[in-house]
Amino acid sequence: MRLGMPDPSLYCVKGMVILDNDGNRILTKYYDKETFPTAKEQKAFEKNLFSKTHRASAEIIMLDGLTCIYKSNVDLFFYVMGSSQENELILMTVLNCLYESVSMILRKNVEKRALLDNIDVVMLAMDEICDNGIIMEADSGAVLQRVAVRTDDIPLGEQTVAQVKARVSGLTGSVLQSAREQLKWSLLK
Give the span between the Cα atoms of 26 and 28, in whole angstroms.
7
Which pLDDT does position 74 carry in this prediction?
Answer: 82
- Residue 5 is which amino acid? M
Low pLDDT (below 70) residues in the chain: 1-8, 149-176, 179-180, 183-184, 186, 189
Which pLDDT does position 129 carry in this prediction?
Answer: 92
CATH 3.30.450.60 fits 13-149, yes or no: yes
Region of residue 23 (left: phi > 0; alpha: psi -120 to 50; beta: else): left
Half-sphere exposure of 120 (CA within 13 A, CB side): 3
**Hey, which residues does 131 pair with through a beta bridge?**
134
Distance of CA 83 to the CA centre of its chain: 19
Beta carbons within 10 angstroms of residue 133's beta carbon: 17
- Residue 105 is which amino acid? I
What is the pTM for the complete model shown?
0.74
Burial status of residue 130 (CB atoms within 10 A of its CB: 0-12, 13-18, 19 or more): buried
Query: Alpha carbon of 24 to those of 44, 89, 129, 168, 180: distances in Å?
Result: 11, 27, 23, 43, 58
**Hey, which residues does 19 pair with through a beta bridge?**
25, 77
Q: Could you give phi then psi for residue 180, rounded to 5 degrees?
A: -60, -45
Which pLDDT does position 1 carry in this prediction?
Answer: 47
